[in-house]
A = this chain, B = another copy of it.
Amino acid sequence: MGKLKKIKVHIADDHKVLIDGINAVLKTEEQIEVVGCSLNGEQVLQWYKENNSDVLILDINMPKLDGIAVLKEFQKQDNRPSIVILSSYDDVKLVKEVMKIGAKGFLAKKCASEQIVEAIKTVYSGENYFSKSIQSKIVSSFSDSNGNAEKNYFNLLTDREKEILTLIAKEFNTREIAESLFISINTVETHRKNLIKKLQVKNVVGLALFAHKNKMV
């Protein structure tokens, strides 16, 4: 073993240019071999029914079945590849979420391609891997709670507030929310007010966008 066995990698991303690019980068790596590619989540699952790889580079935003759904599907299975999540943006919460459901690594697309190679080798060896940009974000997310804060906003919300926020993001108005939750309009308005304060947005538009960004809808 050693020279003989290459790390088998599958790449899944709906941007074909990116797949080709990563492919080209990995072609220069002797220890790595790209054995398959997919353009959406369904293709990924289909491919793994009859094939296998050591590592899977998985984009979050994909048509038909997104990265999260694919990840959850793999979680049910025994013989699964080490999965490195590829995301357009650094988001500590997203990292937490995907690591909890079985991802082994996290790469932002803005990072350098050498980090892909690093990531593949690291997760193949059994360790977790985070791209440098997200590492620093994770670190700084521990030192908030006071001064800087950043965007731990989501965790500030109570369950009830999340519930109401979800309804707002579904285009429900205050009266409709009140009726569907069997509470007073005044109460809903209070919650809305608190949400706007907590999330530091200007109006319902800000609330809706926050909900959407945090995948509450």
Q: Which residues of B contact A39 (CB under 8 A)?
A: 110
Contact of A17 among B16, B21, B27, B207 (CB under 8 A): B21
CA distance A24 to B23 in the complex (A): 9
Q: A204-B204, A205-B204 are in contact. Are A17 and B109 (CB under 8 A)?
A: yes
The interface size bin for chain A is: 35 or more
CA distance A1 to B204 in the complex (A): 61
Q: Which residues of B contact A212 (CB under 8 A)?
A: 209, 212-213
Tell which of A72-80, A93-101, A122-130, A165-173 binds the partner.
A165-173
**A→B interface (CB under 8 Å):** 14-18, 20-25, 27-28, 39, 86, 88, 107, 109-114, 116, 168-169, 171, 173, 201-209, 212-213, 217
Q: List 23 A-B contacts (CB under 8 A).
A: A14-B110, A16-B109, A16-B110, A16-B111, A17-B18, A17-B86, A17-B111, A17-B112, A17-B116, A18-B18, A20-B21, A20-B112, A20-B113, A21-B24, A21-B25, A169-B205, A171-B203, A173-B203, A204-B205, A205-B205, A205-B208, A208-B208, A212-B213
